[in-house]
């Protein structure tokens, strides 16, 4: 399947994520992705589904430049990702917020420090950091936990911190790799609702999941990976 799915009207917008003939073959010979072609437009929110091993993480890793395609080309926000390295790649990554299944919080840092660390690293000043932190915490309902440490939080709260960290620098794109994979149904729904709110304010989102009940309960468009091939699911 090599079609070009889109929620929006392609004639009026430029894609914010574009894959052209993308194939990924790992060194051991595993072909994780086969000739993917698709465009995602500003404001889209896709669920990326597929069985374990179907290529979801591989696809997201290619989109945030953690790994490179064996063949084909990727554009993020109109920038050709393939040739980027070092500072240029780091700079492009600022256009992407990333959320992982296992939160990846710094255990010895408070919630506030975890969220603002990325801003320090990007050279933001104190006043700008102080201005950005409260709305990010508020968006995920954790203003009251700013001074807590990750181990003092539930899994759902930790994932909400990682979402706040992902959006505090206001990236236009959010990539979430199985963000509800470690959470119970209530917390999973809460995470999905937060992501929907973020999408409403304009952030383009691709979220991978193999949680069937979450997929059924949401009306979001679905991109399905099957043995490394991508198709848009009609429902």
Contact residues toward ligand ADP (CB under 6 A) are 26, 28, 30, 32, 50, 52-58
Choice between 59 and 133, CB closer to ligand ADP: 59
Choice between 150 and 179, CB closer to ligand ADP: 179
Smallest separation, CB 147 to ligand ADP (Å): 35
Choice between 54 and 204, CB closer to ligand ADP: 54
Smallest separation, CB 56 to ligand ADP (Å): 3
Choice between 164 and 225, CB closer to ligand ADP: 225
Smallest separation, CB 55 to ligand ADP (Å): 4
What string of DSSP letters covers the chain?
------SS-TTTS--SEEEEEEEEE-TTS-EEEEEEEEEE-TT-EEEEE--TTSSHHHHHHHHTTSS--SEEEEEETTEE-TT--HHHHHHHHTTEEEEETT----TTS-HHHHHHHHHHHTT--HHHHHHHHHHHHHHTT-GGGTT--GGGS-HHHHHHHHHHHHHTT--SEEEEESTTTTS-HHHHHHHHHHHHHHHHTT-EEEEE---HHHHHH----EEEEETTEEEEEP-
Smallest separation, CB 203 to ligand ADP (Å): 22
Q: Which residues face 25 on adjacent strands? A: 31
Smallest separation, CB 152 to ligand ADP (Å): 30
Nearest 5°: the CA angle 101, 106, 107 is 100
Choice between 7 and 25, CB closer to ligand ADP: 25
Smallest separation, CB 63 to ligand ADP (Å): 12
Choice between 49 and 162, CB closer to ligand ADP: 49
């Amino acid at each position: 399947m090599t079609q070009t799915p889109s929620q929006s009207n392609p004639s009026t917008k430029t894609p914010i994520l574009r894959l052209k003939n993308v194939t990924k073959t790992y060194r051991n010979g595993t072909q994780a992705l086969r000739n993917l072609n698709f465009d995602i437009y500003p404001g889209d929110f896709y669920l990326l589904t597929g069985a374990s091993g179907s290529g979801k993480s591989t696809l997201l890793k290619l989109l945030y430049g953690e790994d490179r395609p064996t063949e084909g080309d990727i554009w993020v926000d109109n920038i050709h990702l393939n040739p980027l390295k070092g500072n240029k790649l780091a700079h492009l990554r600022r256009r992407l917020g990333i959320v992982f299944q296992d939160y990846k919080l710094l255990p010895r840092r408070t919630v506030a420090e975890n969220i603002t660390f990325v801003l320090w690293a990007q050279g933001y000043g104190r006043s700008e950091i102080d201005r950005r932190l409260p709305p990010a915490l508020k968006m995920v309902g954790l203003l009251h936990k700013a001074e807590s440490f990750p181990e003092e939080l539930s899994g759902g709260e930790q994932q909400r911190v990682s979402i706040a960290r992902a959006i505090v620098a206001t990236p236009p794109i959010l990539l979430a790799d199985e963000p509800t994979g470690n959470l119970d149904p209530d917390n999973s729904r809460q995470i999905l609702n937060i992501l929907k709110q973020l999408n409403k304010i304009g952030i383009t989102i691709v979220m991978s999941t193999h949680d069937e009940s979450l997929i059924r309960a949401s009306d979001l468009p679905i991109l399905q990976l099957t043995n490394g091939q991508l198709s848009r699911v009609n429902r």
